[in-house]
Amino acid sequence: MATLKLTIFKAKVLKDGRHKIRVAVCHHQETSYIVTQFVIDNISQFKNGQVVKRADSALMNMKLRTMLNEYQKRLDTINNVDLYSCTQLKDMIARGAIKHEADTFAKVCDDYIEELCKNGRIKYANMLSDTKRYFGEFAKGDVGLADITPDFIELFSSYINRKNWSDATKGIVLRNVRTIINKAIKRRLVSYAINPFISCKIPRPPVRDVSLSVETLRKILHSEPDSRYMQISRDIFALSFYLGGINMIDLVNIKFDNEYVVSFSREKVKGRTASNNEIKLHINDAARVILSRWVDKRTMKLNFGYNFGYENFRRHISRGVVKLAKNLGITNRVMFYSARKTFAQFASELGIPDSVINYCLGHSDQNRGVIRYYTKVRERQAEIAINRVIDYVENPEKYKEFLEMKADIMMMKM
Report, as an integer, the average pLDDT of 231-255: 95
pLDDT score, position 4: 94
pLDDT score, position 116: 87
Rounded percentage of the chain residues whose pLDDT exceeds 90: 60
Is residue 341 within 8 Å of 379, Cβ to Cβ? no
Greater model confidence, 86 or 81:
86
* R_g (Cα) of the chain, nearest Å: 30
pLDDT > 80? residue 271 = no
Amino acid at 128: L
Q: How many CB atoms lie within 10 A of CB 126?
A: 13
Element (H, E) at 274: none
pTM exceeds 0.75 for this model: no
Is residue 36 within 8 Å of 20, Cβ to Cβ? yes
User: Mean pLDDT in the chain?
Assistant: 87
Q: Please give the Cα distance from 291 to 236 (Å, whole number).
A: 10
Q: Among 8-12, 116-120, 138-142, 349-353, name the one with the lowest average pLDDT.
A: 116-120
- pLDDT tens-digit series, residues 331-381: 989 999 999 999 999 999 999 998 899 889 887 655 444 444 445 557 889
Handedness of CA 110, 116, 118, 121 (dihedral sign): negative
Q: Which of 36-50, 73-87, 228-242 has the highest mean pLDDT?
A: 228-242
pLDDT > 60? residue 306 = yes
Report, as an integer, the average pLDDT of 169-190: 92
Of 347, 146, 145, residue with least CA distance to 241: 347
Q: How many CB atoms lie within 10 A of CB 394?
A: 13
Rounded percentage of the chain residues whose pLDDT exceeds 70: 89
Residue 364: HSE in the Cβ half-sphere, 13 Å Cα cutoff? 9
Residue 3 DSSP label? E
Report, as an integer, the average pLDDT of 394-408: 85
Of 211, 195, 227, residue with least CA distance to 335: 211
- pLDDT tens-digit series, residues 192-204: 888 999 999 898 7
Write the burial class of residue 62 (CB in 10 Å: 0-12 exposed, 13-18 middle, 19+ buried): exposed
pLDDT > 50? residue 101 = no
Report, as an integer, the average pLDDT of 61-89: 85
With bands split at pLDDT 50, 70 and 90, how would you rate the model's confidence at 276? low
pLDDT > 80? residue 383 = yes
pLDDT score, position 377: 58
With bands split at pLDDT 50, 70 and 90, how would you rate the model's confidence at 208? low
81 Rama sector, left if φ>0, alpha if ψ -120 to 50, beta otherwise: alpha
Residue 147 DSSP label? G
Kindly write down the DSSP assignment for every residue of 17-59, as one continuous string: S-EEEEEEEEETTEEEEEEEEEEESSGGGEETTEE-SSTTHHH
Amino acid at 266: R
With bands split at pLDDT 50, 70 and 90, how would you rate the model's confidence at 98? very low
Q: Among 7-16, 311-320, 399-408, name the one with the lowest average pLDDT.
A: 399-408
Is residue 202 within 8 Å of 196, Cβ to Cβ? no
pLDDT score, position 311: 87
Amino acid at 405: M
**b/e string for 192-229 if b means 16 or more Cβ within 10 A?**
beeebbeeeeebeeeeeebbbeeebbebbbebebeeeb
